[in-house]
Each structure stands twice: as C-alpha cells, then as structure tokens.
Structure 1
Amino acid sequence: QVLHSHSYRFAEPFSGQTVVILGAKSSGLDISIELAKAGAKVTLSHGYPPLTFPLPPGIQQSSSVVAVDNAGCLRLQDGSVCKADVLMFCTGYNFHYPFLDAAQLGLEIQDHMVSPLYRFMLPPAFPSLFFIGICKIICPFPNFNCQVQFALAVLDGSVPLPSREQMEKEVQQEQQEKLEKGVQWRHLLKLDQGQWEYCETLAQLAGFPPLQPVVRSLYEEVWRQRQIHPANYRRNNYQLVSATRWELIHSPEPERPDV
C-alpha cells in the first residue's frame, strides 16, 4: 500500500503492519510515533543525520528510499533493501487552487511554491487578494494574525502599496538572495528564524502592536521540548505571566524507550 500523509487519519488500521515513513519532518515524525504506539513496526526513512532524541519502541531509522522494485522491495540510499506493508510519503505538498486562474493573477503555482507574492501574501497583479497562512516553519496563529491585520490595513487604505512593477522586483530580489544562499526554490516559503522580523515588519507597516516577546520565547521552548521529548511534549502546559515571561505549570514524566 502506498499513500501520502494527507490521507492518514488514524493509526489503528496499521497495527501489526510494517510501515516505512518517508520524511522525518513534522508530519513524518508525528505519524511515526502514533503508529508505533498503535503496534506498527515503523521505519523512519530520511536523508538527514540520524535523530538523536529518544524515539518510542517500534521505530527505527534508515536512509532515504530511492526506488521501489517490481517485487515491492524498497531500495534505500545506503544500498540496503527492505520490505514493507505500507509506504507513506511525508514529503510535503503542492498548492492547488482550482478556483483561481493563476495566469490572470500573474502567479506561478508549482513545485511547492506560489510566486510572486508580495510580503508572502498578495499577488502584485491582483493586490486585493491575500493568501493567509501560506508560510512554513512558523508559529502559526500569531503569524496568521499579523498577516490578517496587514491585509485589513491594505484594504482600508492605511498601507499604500508600491506599484506592481516595484512589488514584483522586491519579491524577485528576496528570492534571488535566498537562492544564492543555497535555499531550494521549493523551500522559499520557509521562514523559520526569519518569521519574527517578518511579523515585526508587518506590524510596523500596518501600525498594529507587534508580537510580545513571550510569543517567541515560548515558541522556542516548545520547539526545544519537541526535540527532547517528541512523544509527549504536547502534554506540557504553560502559562503566560507577562509580555516577556511564561512559566511551566505541568510537565508529565517523559516516556522512556526500551533499552
């Protein structure tokens, strides 16, 4: 069976099966943990250095899958071969907007990208349309909130936009700078550490209050906990104390893998 993580809903149907997960980012790691807890034998196949934090029993790591032969065997990058009942792709997704005419909007929608988008939101050729929440590797809802406030400020005239030509030029320059730094085209929507400056810029331009420092601080703490305790970091409860400080109010005992 071959499927994409988009089709995954529950772990129980995979109990007792051998599952190869291709991709070890957010969805790949989360699904692997769920499957292992449900009794599946999981191989987490990826091209990164081996993950060093503790994984639940039932998960092993391997190099990336490079081919599937006619007998259904998976050939790995290191030359080894493995068999599996299920191969699940957790390799990202493409954008698909069947209700939009990309050419009319001056957009190219392919290879994990929508471009050009000024401020990662609006097509220069149609600046009253906004793509909210399209960026990746972000603190989602604070980011969405900043984007919405910026979009509203554009629509009510509070934020005057440059000309179409100038917006397209700015987007092209930003993309070229990232490409020259080695960022792949398909990853140009990943903000990561750049998300904070991005949200700050939107706030300055639109005149709304910037994100409080505690948002970044707590986001980075949760990210750190995810690397240490991927199986149960979500069970931590935090309380915001002030604009700059949070505190941990509950932390379960970490689950320990079998030795």
Structure 2
Amino acid sequence: MGAGAAGLIALRHVQEDPDLDGCIFEQTNSVGGIWKYIDKTGNDEYGIPIHSTAYKGLRTNLPKEIMGYLDYKFPESQHSYINHEEVLNYFKKFVSSYDLMGKIHFTTRVTNVQPNLVNEQPSWKVITEDLTTKSTSEHFFDSIMVCNGHYTKSYIPNITDLKAFQGEIFHSRDYRTPDIFSGKRVIVLGAGPSAIDISIELAEFASKVILSCKQPNYAMPNKISIHSPIVSTKENSFITATGDEVECDVLLLCSGYVYDFPFLSPDCGITVEKGKYVYPLYRHMINAMFPTMLLVGIPFTVCPFPQFDIQIRYFLKVLKGELTLPSKDEMLQEIKDEEQTRLENKVPFNHSHKFGDRQWEYNVQLAEEAGFLDLIQPVVKKVYDRAGVRRVDDPANYKYDHMMAIHSVYIVSKSGGMIFNYDHNFPKVESEKTFSFPMDLKLELRNKKLVVVFGQRDGICIGQTLLSINGTLVTGGQMENGEDALEYLSNGANFPASLRFGRTRMTTNEKMFLGSMFYPLYAIASQISPEPHSSGIQVLEAETFKLHCLQTLTGVKFIAICDPRLQGMEIILRKIYELYADYVLKNPFYALEMPIRCDLFNDNLKVLLETIERTGITNV
C-alpha cells in the first residue's frame, strides 16, 4: 500500500522473485509519495487530504550518496543534498529500470484490510475504492506490506488557550513557499530538520523569525532568534516556558506527525498509542499477531531508503520460509522487554521508535540474519554522522557540502619506499555487544593484538580486534588496569561483559610495508601490459573503495584511497602533486627519498581534502 520510497522497493523485490507476485495500490496518480511537490494544500480533487508534504525549496537533509537503496544509488551530480524533483526523478527511473509501472494501481484507495484466518495463518482481504469511478473491489493476498508513509496526519501539540490566538496558525504540512509570510512576525515551533530549514527560508522574507524549541543546539543565523517552547497563548502573542512574552502574526507548527492506519481493521491487531507508538511490532516492523503483515518505515531518525530496503529483504526471507521468526509469545515478550528497557532508560514515550545511533546495529542484525550483510557499507554511518555534525554547526550552509570521502593519501618514492601517509577520513568500524559466559567467539593474541579467530555475529567479524572490556581499553592483550584480558574473559564470574571490537588499525611499520609492496605491483602491471610503455596501475577498484595512483616523471607515486563514488580523482592527485612541489620540494631542508615532515604541506593537504569533500572538485 503506497508507491513511495518503501512501496517501490517492496514491489521490485517481490517482482524479482519467481516464487512471488504482487502489486501496489496508490491513491494518487503518480509515484513518489511525499517527494512529489504539489502547490495545492488541503484536499485533492477527490476530497482526500493531499499526501505530499514537500515544500518548494525542499532539499534532502542527508547526502544523496547514502540515501539510495542498497544496490540502486542516486546518479552522480554536483550536489550531495538534492531537491525534491531530483528525488522524484530517482523514483521514476527506478520504476522504469525494473518495469514496475504495470503493477501499480493508481487513484486506488485502500479503505479496509481484514485478516481471514486459515489454519492460523491469515490471508488478507483488501477492499479498495477506485477514486475516479467511486467503485469498490475486493482483493485477497497472502501477505500485506503497509507502505503508506508517516508524514500525513499532523501532530498538534497541547498549548494552553491556542484558540485565543488571533493570528494565523499553519502546520508545516501545509507550508509551500516563504513569500506569503513577507513582512510578518513568525514563530516556528519545533527543532527538527523541517523547522530548521523552514526558519532559514522564512528569514529572507519575514520581518522576524522566532524558533521555539527545547534544545537550541543549532548555530542559527543572526536573523533568527531562539526561545524556549511556548506554553500558553494570548491574542497576539505567546508565553514561553521561561516566562517570555513573544509577539507574532503567525504560528508555524513544525511539530511532526503521528502514525495513522485508518484502513486497518481492529482485527489486524495493530494499535497506535498516543499517535507515537505502534504495537505490537516485532523488530519495529512485523505484526506479531499476524506475521504476514509488514509495516515499513516505522523507525525514525534514520537513513530511510536503505532501511526500507533492509526491512523488506528480511521480511521476504520470512515469507519464503528461509528465515524463521520466534513464536508469537516470544515476539510479544521481546516487545515487552524492549518497552521495559525504554522505561528504565527514561526514553520519552514519543521516542519509542526513534533510532538514531541504534539504526546501525539494527540494520546489521537484520542483514546478517537474512544473509545480505555484504550489502551494508560501514562508510554510510561515517557520512551520516558527519552530516549530523555539519547540520548543527552550520544549518544555513551544510546542504552545500559534498559528502564523498577521501580516506587516505600515500606518497611512495622512486625507489619504492613509503615517504608519506595521511589518514584523512578513515572509516571507524566498531561493534559493541554484551556477552554471556561462555562466549561464542574465540580470541587469540596475534601481533600483540587480541583478534577474533572464530565466530561471527552482530557485525563482529573474524580478524577484528578487541578494543575494550566494560569500557576499559585493551592494548596488546592487557587491560588498562593491568589485568590480562584473556584471563579476565575465562572467568565466568566476570560476565555478563560488554566487549567492543573494531578494525585492526595498521601500525606505521605495517603501512610502510604495504606502501613498499605497491612498487613491485605497479612494475608487474607495466610489464604484463600487451602494449609497450604502459603507465602501470592507475586505478584499483574494490567493493568499498578505489585506489587511484599518479606517477610523476621522476617516478614518485601519489596514491589516494577514496569512496568508490568520488569522481575527478586525477585532478585531485595532480593538485596534491602541486602541493608537494610547492611545500616539499622547495623546502631547503628536505632531502629526496626521505620521509616528508612538513607542516605547511600537511596543513594545505588537509584544507584541500576538506574542500573537495564539501564542494566537490569544482572549486579546486
């Protein structure tokens, strides 16, 4: 149900499986869900509330490089943060690429979903209405995927005497352009991405913009003043939690949305508590009462499109019997245990489905259990976290960043020795889990590091190093307090224990060894070329990175390891070479073939790489 981001990837996976068949019911006349911009607000021509909440200036608040489905990325373009039209075109191209259009029933509204019990496993009766003819139809399915989106029904906060306000009140779902607020004093209530973006848009038109929120962590432009949340109302002003009275002409509520499934009959077993908690969902997605029903995209504060893909791949494994769920009682108990954990950790009720950093462990768990862990790219978390920091530090300009990463730069001398290395944006891959005794992993001390040699689970892989035990750092087999780590882990009395694992970081000597190994590899590539005068290796491509090499006329090799999607590395390597010529070769104290120790070179290289990541190569 729904031909937005979740529904389209669901249909693609269903149609690609020869054992499955399916269709989409979509109540509008096109694909794209909330990403289809519509000037009009209120109801559509059929009297139904307009589904899209996109405003004219909307751009993504995450870079496109991490927003695409697991194996269908956004096309290359100059900008990382793209507008709603580019997102919509991505969906249209996706539909065309997988020939999905014939399986989508447009202007078809689902009015009722009812389980029909057969041997304890329900089939589903779905009643739809053709909005153009007003005729109704019954359909029967083995499984249901609810992909209706969660940005339609507005959440209106409880503000004392709100009706007393004589000015205008809008919800952000009805916001389209800032010009209608010209010369007005506007209070924007909220602190989410929409509140921030809309406030910045309004500041160019409104006479005054006040951002009202609990935690003003953002470095907002000077044109925008920040106040605590409003708690009560007067005719032409609002009183904030700190007692300030703020006069305004317009209240713009960026207060979010509530979950809403009006088409699900009570027999489906799904309830929505206070609009913010959907129960009972195993893993925040599968109806524990009837596990042939999937509700996609319930978690929020996540990287959405990849997670939709992950949830659907997992669910289809369940449907096909390739993955077995716990019993109903076990699923309900797990849900209850998670609720208790949230209570103990004092998680606000309206954050029941808020993930944030939890999303990475969740994604890995689903992917590992369903057998597609190889599609999960650790670099996504790195880019996501950087985007979050930039959003807080510079909310007015972060969407001009270009977010593809350059990880490391090496310089190898003519004789084959590594003379320079700089790790600029190297992905940090770590997993922390709580273990009971005995552990289902085996550790051995190798090269003064405790390494996983047997067992793999929850993102912890063979070859990773033990970094800490219960927060105490582990170095060379010894805990920071002097205890032997293996002896500590052999004692059952020390469990449960929280262990953090991560990628083994190379020492300087190991980097020098690998750098020197590139020299003969480069020479071999030159020798085996069927044509004379080969340039040797210029690009070495792996699934998670690309290695680019530029060899100068003097035989010095400049090597960069970067995100495989980053374009224009030849230009970047030549720019690094220019910095080398300016700040290293012209240094009277530098001797050729010796390690490079030059602060000016280091500083300018860092500035260059950061500029490229923010703006691409256009400003280089």
TM-score, scaled to structure 1? 0.89
**C-alpha distance in structure 2 between counterparts of 1:217 and 1:115, whole Å:** 32
The alpha carbon displacement at 1:52 in A equals 5.2
The alpha carbon displacement at 1:59 in A equals 0.6
**C-alpha distance in structure 2 between counterparts of 1:9 and 1:154, whole Å:** 41
Instruction: Deviation per CA, 1:36-79: give whole Å up to 9, x if none.
Output: 1334521001122x4352x224210011100112x232111111
Q: Does 1:66 align with 2:231?
A: yes
Paired residue secondary structure (2:313): helix
Return the match for 2:387 from 190, 207, 222: 222
Return the match for 1:9 from 176, 189, 200: 176
Return the match for 1:37 from 193, 204, 209: 204
Q: Does 1:152 align with 2:304?
A: no
Count the aligned residue pairs.
Answer: 248
The alpha carbon displacement at 1:110 in A equals 2.9
The alpha carbon displacement at 1:226 in A equals 0.9
**C-alpha distance in structure 2 between counterparts of 1:116 and 1:220, whole Å:** 30
**C-alpha distance in structure 1 between counterparts of 2:295 and 2:178, whole Å:** 32
1:227/1:236 Cα in 2 relative to 1: closer, same or farther (>3 Å)? same
The corresponding residue for 1:162 is 326
Which amino acid in 2 is paired with 1:81?
E
Instruction: Deviation per CA, 1:211-240: give whole Å up to 9, x if none.
Output: 111111111111111111111212212336
Q: Does 1:107 align with 2:270?
A: yes
Which amino acid in 2 is paired with 1:170?
E
Residue pairs, 1:109-258, within 5 angstroms: 109-111=272-274, 112-210=276-374, 211-239=376-404, 243=544, 246=563, 249=612, 251=614
1:150/1:45 Cα in 2 relative to 1: closer, same or farther (>3 Å)? same
The corresponding residue for 1:21 is 188
The corresponding residue for 1:51 is 217
Paired residue secondary structure (1:169): helix
Identify unmatched segments of 5+ residues in structure 2: 1-167, 407-542, 546-561, 567-609, 616-620
- Note if contact 1:68-1:74 (Cα within 8 Å) is conserved in structure 2: yes
Instruction: Deviation per CA, 1:9-45: give whole Å up to 9, x if none.
Output: 2212112211101111222111111111334521001
The alpha carbon displacement at 1:7 in A equals 1.6
TM-score, scaled to structure 2? 0.38
Cα RMSD, aligned residues only: 1.9
The corresponding residue for 1:76 is 240
**C-alpha distance in structure 2 between counterparts of 1:13 and 1:168, whole Å:** 49
1:161/1:222 Cα in 2 relative to 1: closer, same or farther (>3 Å)? same
The structure where strand makes up a greater share of residues is 2
- Note if contact 2:272-2:279 (Cα within 8 Å) is conserved in structure 1: yes
**C-alpha distance in structure 2 between counterparts of 1:84 and 1:52, whole Å:** 22
- Note if contact 1:138-1:192 (Cα within 8 Å) is conserved in structure 2: yes
Paired residue secondary structure (1:158): coil
Higher relative contact order (CA 8 A, sep 6+): 1
- Note if contact 1:27-1:90 (Cα within 8 Å) is conserved in structure 2: yes
Instruction: Deviation per CA, 1:169-198: give whole Å up to 9, x if none.
Output: 111111110121000121110011111110
- Note if contact 1:154-1:160 (Cα within 8 Å) is conserved in structure 2: yes
Which amino acid in 2 is paired with 1:106?
G
The structure where helix makes up a greater share of residues is 1
Tell me which moved more, 11-20 or 234-243.
234-243
Return the match for 1:97 from 231, 237, 261: 261
Which amino acid in 1 is paired with 2:211?
L
**C-alpha distance in structure 2 between counterparts of 1:67 and 1:152, whole Å:** 49
**C-alpha distance in structure 1 between counterparts of 2:312 and 2:353, whole Å:** 17
**C-alpha distance in structure 2 between counterparts of 1:40 and 1:204, whole Å:** 53
The corresponding residue for 1:255 is none
**C-alpha distance in structure 1 between counterparts of 2:196 and 2:336, whole Å:** 34
1:120/1:40 Cα in 2 relative to 1: closer, same or farther (>3 Å)? farther
The alpha carbon displacement at 1:250 in A equals 5.2
1:240/1:126 Cα in 2 relative to 1: closer, same or farther (>3 Å)? farther
